[in-house]
C-alpha cells in the first residue's frame, strides 16, 4: 500500500525526487503500468497537485529547468491537461450539472434493478473474472491511485465490455481516487465514452494492455468488446455552448474577514493575507460531497491531513468545519464579526454546488464570498473552449505568463 503523507513538505520532497525523471525517461516510460507499488515512470504527484500542496507552475518550472522544453514536452503537456479540463468545465458548467442529475438517476435505477446492482457490485469488488480489470479495481480501493493508462482501460471495459452506466463508474473513481477532481474525472470518463471528443471513444485493446503492462496481463481479444461507436446518441443535441468564465469577487483589503480553507487549494499562504482583517479562519471538510455514496476513508483522511497542514502553515488559528448544513457557513463567519469570506477560487464541482446552496444565507447576513484566482488558471482557461489542441499550441505563450525566468 502506498504511504501518502498529505503535507506540502512531502509533496515538495516527491517533486524533487522525481525531477530527474521528468524528461525523456518520462516520455519513454509514462505509458507503462507496472502495477501497485511500482509506479516509478510516473510522478504520482497528482494527489498533491490536485490540492495545490504542490503547484503546477512549480512542477513545470522544475521540468523545464532540469530538461529543457524539448525533452520535458510530454511531462509539461500532461500537467497542463489538468488545467485544460478544469477550464473546459468552467466554460461548460452544464456538463457537470448533467453528470450530477444523471448519477442520481443511475443510482435510483441501481436500487430498482437487481441484476444491474449485482453486476456493478462485482465490478467494484474486482470479481468480474477479467484479471486486469479486477486487479485495477482492487488497486484503486486499496491505494487510492491508478496509473493513467489503467484508468482509461478500466473505464473502457466498464462502459463497453461490461456495459455498465458510465456515471456509476465515474462515481466509483471519484469516491476512491486521492487525486479525484470533478473536471478531470468527469471529462476523462466522457472522453473514453466518446462524449468529450464526440464520436471517438477509447477502446481497451488486448494487445495494448499486454504491451503496456509489460506482460503482467494478457487478455484475449475475445475478452474485450469491439468498440465501433461511443455513447454520443445519449446526447443527441451535442455539447452545450461555451460560456464566458464566471465573474468572481476578489477580497477587499481591510474588511473584516473569515478565511476559509478547503482542499481546492492548500497553499493559502501564497496569497496576501497581511492585507486582510482576519477575524476567524476555518478548514472545511468536503470530501463527502463527492458522491451520495460513502467516500473512501483514504480520500477523507488525505483531505483531513492536507487541511491540518494548510491551517498550520497559514499561521492563523482555525476551527474545523464540515460541509453539511449550508446555512452554517454564514453563521460561522457572522459570529466572528466578518463581512466577507475569503477563499481560493472554487471550480465547478461539489463544493461549488454546496456554496451555491449557502448563497441565500450569505446574502441574508450581508456576507460576500470572495475568491483568489491563480495566474495558472487565468492563463489556461481562456483557451479551454474546444479540444486540447487549442491549449497545446498556446503552451509557449502560457508558460511565458506563469513560469518564472
Neighbours of 298 (CB within 10 A): 22
- Within 113-162, residue ranges assigned H as helices are 114-124, 131-143, 148-156
Q: Which CA distances in Å does 148 have to 25, 145, 372, 391?
A: 17, 9, 30, 20
Least confident stretch, 116-120, 292-296, 304-308, 314-318: 314-318
- For position 239, what pLDDT does the model report? 83
Neighbours of 105 (CB within 10 A): 12
d(CA 327, CA 355): 10
pLDDT tens readout for residues 52-107: 999 999 999 999 999 999 999 999 999 999 999 999 999 999 999 999 999 999 99
d(CA 103, CA 173): 13
pLDDT tens readout for residues 365-391: 999 999 999 999 999 999 999 989 989
Neighbours of 66 (CB within 10 A): 15
Alpha-carbon torsion, ordered 355, 358, 359, 363, to 10 deg: -140
- For position 405, what pLDDT does the model report? 65
The rounded percent of the chain whose pLDDT value lies above 70 is 99
The answer to whether 340 and 367 are in contact (CB under 8 A) is yes
- For position 3, what pLDDT does the model report? 81
Task: Tell me the pLDDT band of 2, cut-offs 50, 70 and 90.
Answer: low
- For position 237, what pLDDT does the model report? 74
Would you identify the CATH topology of the domain 95-234?
DNA Cyclobutane Dipyrimidine Photolyase, subunit A; domain 3 (1.10.579)
Number of residues written out for the chain: 405
Name the CATH superfamily, with its identifier, for domain 256-372: HUPs (3.40.50.620)
Phi-psi region of 191 (alpha: psi -120 to 50; beta: other; left: phi over 0): alpha
Domain boundaries, the chain: 8-90+379-402, 95-234, 256-372
The answer to whether 90 and 245 are in contact (CB under 8 A) is yes
- For position 1, what pLDDT does the model report? 42
pLDDT tens readout for residues 323-366: 999 999 999 999 999 999 999 999 999 999 999 999 999 999 99
Task: Tell me the pLDDT band of 404, cut-offs 50, 70 and 90.
Answer: confident
- For position 210, what pLDDT does the model report? 97
The answer to whether 298 and 291 are in contact (CB under 8 A) is no
The rounded percent of the chain whose pLDDT value lies above 90 is 94
pLDDT tens readout for residues 131-144: 999 999 999 999 99
- For position 234, what pLDDT does the model report? 83
Question: How large is the C-alpha radius of gyration of the chain?
Answer: 21
Task: Tell me the pLDDT band of 235, cut-offs 50, 70 and 90.
Answer: confident
Amino acid at each position: 500500500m502506498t504511504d501518502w503523507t498529505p503535507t506540502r513538505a512531502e509533496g515538495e520532497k516527491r517533486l524533487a525526487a522525481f525531477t530527474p525523471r521528468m524528461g525523456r525517461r518520462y516520455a519513454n516510460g509514462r505509458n507503462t503500468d507496472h502495477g501497485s507499488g511500482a509506479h516509478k515512470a510516473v510522478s504520482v504527484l497528482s494527489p498533491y497537485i490536485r490540492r495545490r500542496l504542490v503547484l503546477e507552475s512549480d512542477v513545470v518550472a522544475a521540468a523545464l529547468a532540469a530538461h529543457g522544453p524539448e525533452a520535458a514536452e510530454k511531462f509539461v503537456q500532461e500537467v497542463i491537461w489538468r488545467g485544460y479540463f478544469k477550464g473546459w468545465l468552467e466554460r461548460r458548467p452544464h456538463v457537470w450539472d448533467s453528470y450530477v442529475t444523471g448519477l442520481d438517476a443511475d443510482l435510483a435505477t441501481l436500487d430498482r434493478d437487481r441484476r444491474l446492482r449485482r453486476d456493478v457490485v462485482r465490478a467494484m469488488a474486482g470479481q468480474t473474472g477479467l484479471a486486469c480489470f479486477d486487479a485495477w479495481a482492487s488497486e484503486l480501493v486499496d491505494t487510492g491511485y491508478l496509473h493513467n493508462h489503467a484508468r482509461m482501460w478500466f473505464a473502457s471495459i466498464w462502459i463497453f465490455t461490461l456495459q455498465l452506466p458510465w456515471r456509476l463508474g465515474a462515481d466509483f473513481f471519484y469516491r476512491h481516487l486521492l487525486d479525484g477532481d470533478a473536471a478531470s474525472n468527469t471529462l476523462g470518463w466522457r472522453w473514453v465514452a466518446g462524449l468529450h471528443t464526440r464520436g471517438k471513444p477509447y477502446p481497451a485493446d488486448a494487445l495494448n494492455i499486454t504491451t503496456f503492462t509489460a506482460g503482467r496481463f494478457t487478455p484475449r481479444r475475445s475478452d474485450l468488446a469491439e468498440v465501433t461507436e461511443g455513447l454520443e446518441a445519449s446526447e443527441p443535441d451535442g455539447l452545450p455552448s461555451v460560456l464566458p468564465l464566471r465573474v468572481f469577487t476578489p477580497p477587499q483589503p481591510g474588511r473584516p474577514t473569515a478565511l476559509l480553507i478547503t482542499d481546492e487549494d492548500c497553499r493559502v499562504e501564497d496569497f496576501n493575507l497581511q492585507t486582510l482583517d482576519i477575524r476567524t479562519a476555518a478548514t472545511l471538510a468536503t470530501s463527502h460531497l463527492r458522491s451520495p455514496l460513502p467516500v473512501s476513508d483514504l480520500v477523507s483522511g488525505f483531505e483531513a491531513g492536507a487541511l491540518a497542514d494548510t491551517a498550520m502553515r497559514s499561521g492563523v488559528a482555525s476551527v474545523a468545519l464540515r460541509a453539511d448544513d449550508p446555512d452554517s457557513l454564514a453563521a460561522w463567519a457572522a459570529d466572528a464579526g466578518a463581512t466577507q469570506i475569503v477563499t481560493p477560487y472554487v471550480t465547478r464541482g461539489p463544493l461549488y454546488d454546496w456554496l451555491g446552496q449557502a448563497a441565500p444565507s450569505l446574502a441574508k447576513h450581508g456576507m460576500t464570498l470572495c475568491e483568489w484566482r491563480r495566474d495558472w488558471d487565468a492563463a489556461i482557461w481562456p483557451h479551454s473552449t474546444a479540444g486540447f489542441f487549442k491549449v497545446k499550441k498556446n503552451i509557449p505563450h502560457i508558460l511565458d505568463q506563469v513560469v518564472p525566468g
